[in-house]
Structure 1
Amino acid sequence: MSSTRVGLRLAACLLNISKARKKDVVESIARAAVADDNGQSRAQTTVLNIFSDYDYNRSVITISAPIDGLGSSVTAACIKAFSLIDMETHDGVHPCLGAVDLVPIYPLCGVSVSECARVARGISQDLAALVPGCSFFLFGKADEPEERGLAQKRKDLGWFRKDTVDVEAIRPDVGGGPSRRYGLTGIGASPYVMNCNCTLDTQDLSVAKEIASAIRATSKGGIPGVQAMAFPHNGKVEVACNVESIEDTEVAPPIDEGLEFFSYKILGQSYSYALPRSIESRIQMLAARHGLATAGTALIGFTPLECKRLAEYAILHNIGEFWKHRKGVFM
C-alpha cells in the first residue's frame, strides 16, 4: 500500500547518540520516540532500526513519522538521551560533539527539504527551552541563510573534546554555551544521507586515511556525494562514509569511472546517490594498490527507498518498535 494513497507525508531522523555499550540505555532512548513515560504510544511513529557500534560508543536510531509529528517524537528521544548520557564520562573512538551528537531530518515521501528544515529548527528551539544547558548548531537547509553542510559546520566549530575544548569560546546557533555534560548537538536538514562503512584488513590508519581522502567528493576523482573519515575499529581500521543524496544536474555522474548511482524523486525533485557496492569496489581497488584486502562493508540503516517502504509498512501496521520485529517482516 502506497503512503501517497493513505496520505502519509513521511520524513525520517537518523538520530546519532554517544552511547552504544549499554543496550538498555540505547533502547530506552528509542522507546521514548514511540511512547511517553506512561507507555502511551505516539501515533504514527516508528523506530525502524538501531545500529550500535561498541568501539565507536555510538548508536544511530532511525525514527520515521509523518512530518507533522516527527518533531515531537525526536524531541522526546533527545530529552531521554540527555538525561542518560554524560559526555564527561564518554569514551569512544569516533569523534563526537555531544551526548546527542546529530539530529538530521530527511524527507522520504511528499515532503520538501525546506519543511524538514523547519522541523529541525523547531526541535532545537524546543530542546533549548526544555533542557537547560543544551546547545545546538544548525546545518544544511536549517542553517539560514548560509545553508552550510555538516562537514563545514563541524570544521568551523571544531570537534568537541571534553579535556581541551574552551567551552566558553563556542557560540552555538541555538541555546547557551555548551555544558560539559551535554556538549554540542548538530541539528539540520538535507536530502537523505546514508552511512556506509568499509573495514580494511590492516591496522595501518595512515593508509585508511589516504583512501578516505581519495574517495571524498571534494577530492579530484572522488565520488560525488561522499564524505569519508578513517578510524581504528575492532582491531582493524574502517573507512566510514556519509553518502549524500545529491540533486541531479545536467552533468551525468562519472559512470566511466566504474561508479553506479541510483536515482529517485520526491515532489518532482530528482536525487541520486552512489550505490554502496560501488563505494566498496572503489575502496577495494584503492586498498589493493597497497596490497590490502577489505574485511566487510556495513550499511548503517537503509537506502532512502528502503527507509520509506519500511516506514510505510510499520506505520500502517502500528508497529512502533519495528526494530524488534524487522527480521522476517516485509523486506
Structure 2
Amino acid sequence: MKMASGRTGIRLAACLLNISEGRRRNVVEKIAKAAVCDDNGRKRPQATVLNIFSDYDYNRSVITIAAPVDRLDVAETLAVHAPGCSIFLFGHADLPWKQSLVQRRKQMGWFDRKAFKAASIVPDIGSAPTLRYGLTGVGASPYVMNCNVTVDTQDLATAKDIAGSVRGSAAGGLKGLQAMAFPHKGQIEIACNVESFDHCDDPLATCDEMGYVSYRVLGKTYSYVSPQLIETSIKKLARARGIKTVGTALVGFTPEECMHCATYALTHGVGEFWRMRGGVFM
C-alpha cells in the first residue's frame, strides 16, 4: 500500500510478510528485527515493524513492515541475500499482466499437494523451488487488511459455503473481499483478505452509507469494506444456518491506522514499534 504523510512529506509502503513459523517466538522476532537492522545489527532509520501476528495452530506469522517506497526492492534483495530462494510475482509487481495472488497460486497448484510440482515451476526471480527454501510470493497492490471471523461450528462444508457467499466474486458478495474457511481451535475461522479498490460500484451512494470506508492516498480515493460489515454479513449468513459467530479479529491495522502508526514510528525512529503495542501471539 502506498501512503503519504503531510507531516513527514514521505511516500510510504506497508509490507505484509507472511512466514511459515508461528510457534518459536524467538525465530519470528529475529526475522522481524532483520527488517529494521542491517547484517551488523545497526538500526535502519527508515524502516519499522508495526505489528507481529502469530498463529500457533497453523504455525504461521504475519509481520507488518513500513518503509519509504524507494527503499522497497524486496524480491531482488531477497534473491541476493538468500541464494536458492524461488520467487513469483503478483499484483502490480507482475507486469504487464498484474495477476492477483489467487490467480498465481491456482496456476501453481498452491493449495493442491497432488497438483503442486515444484520441478515444473519456472520462478519469476531466483532458482527453481526446493524443500529448503520453498516458494515465495512477492507482490504490490493497494492496501490489504486481514479480518477473521470465527463461527461456532465444526461443519467445514457449511463454513466454506458462508465464505463463498461473502467473497467479492460472488453475486451479492462484498467488494474487494477474499475469504476462506479453516478449522481453528475446535471451531472454524473465516479468514478474509480485505483489498482496497479505487471506486464504488454505485456512484449515487457514498461508500460510508454502504458499509464501505474511503481514504485518500496521493490524491486518489480508495475504499474498503469495513470490518463491521464483514462481521454483520457473516453473522447473518451463519444465523440462517443455525450457527453463531463467536468473535472477530483484525490482523494488523486499517489503512488509516497503518498510516498514522507508520508516520509516528518513522518520525520518532521507533524501529520495533510492535513492542510498544504488543504483538499478538495466538
TM-score, scaled to structure 1 = 0.78
Matches within 5 A, 1:97-108: none
The correspondence of residues 115-194 of structure 1 with structure 2, limited to 5 A, is 122-159=73-110, 165-194=116-145
Shift of 1:30: 0.5
Within 5 Å, which residues of 2 pair with 1:42-53? 42-53=44-55
Structure 1 residues 321 and 163: CA distance shift in structure 2, 3 A: farther
What is aligned with 1:58?
Answer: 60
* 8 Å contact from structure 1 (residues 162, 180) kept in 2: no
Q: Which residue of the partner structure matches residue 239 of structure 1?
A: 190
Contact 2:200–2:223 under 8 Å retained in 1: no
Distance 1:138 1:319 in 2: 30
Q: Which has the higher contact order (CA 8 A, sep 6+)?
A: 2
The equivalent residue for 2:263 is 312
Deviates more, 1:289-298 or 1:156-165: 156-165
Quickly say closer, same or farther: Cα 1:162–1:36, change in 2 above 3 A. farther
Instruction: Give the 3-state SS of the residue equivalent to 1:277 in structure 2.
Output: helix
CA-CA distance at 1:253 after TM superposition: 9.1
| Separation (CA, whole Å) in 2 of partners of 1:165 and 1:276 | 33
Which of the pair is proportionally richer in helix?
A: 1
Alpha-carbon distance in structure 1 between the residues aligned to 2:201 and 2:220: 13
Contact 1:138 1:186 (8 Å CA) reproduced:
yes
- Superposition RMSD in Å: 2.1
In 2, the alpha carbon distance for the partners of 1:126 and 1:68 equals 13
Could you report, residue by residue, the CA deviation over 1:4-36 in whole angstroms, capped at 9, with x for unpaired residues?
A: 233221111011111000000000000111112
What percent of counterpart residues are identical?
56
Write the distance in 2 (CA, Å) between the matches of 1:20 and 1:322: 19
What residue number does 1:67 align with? Answer: 69
Q: Shift in Å at residue 159 of structure 1?
A: 1.1
2-side partners of 1:160 and 1:32: how far apart? 29
Pair 65,192 (structure 1): closer, same or farther in 2 beyond 3 Å: same
Alignment partners' CA distance in 1, 2:113 and 2:171: 35
Inter-partner Cα distance in structure 2 for 1:41 and 1:274: 36
Does residue 196 of structure 1 match 2:176? no
Q: Could you tell me which runs of 5 or more consecutive residues in structure 2 were left unpaired when the two chains were aligned.
A: none
Would you say how many aligned residue pairs link Structure 1 and Structure 2?
274
Q: 2:233 aligns with which of 263, 279, 282?
A: 282
TM-score when normalising by structure 2: 0.91
Task: Give the whole-Å Cα distance in 2 for the aligned partners of 1:243 and 1:228.
Answer: 9
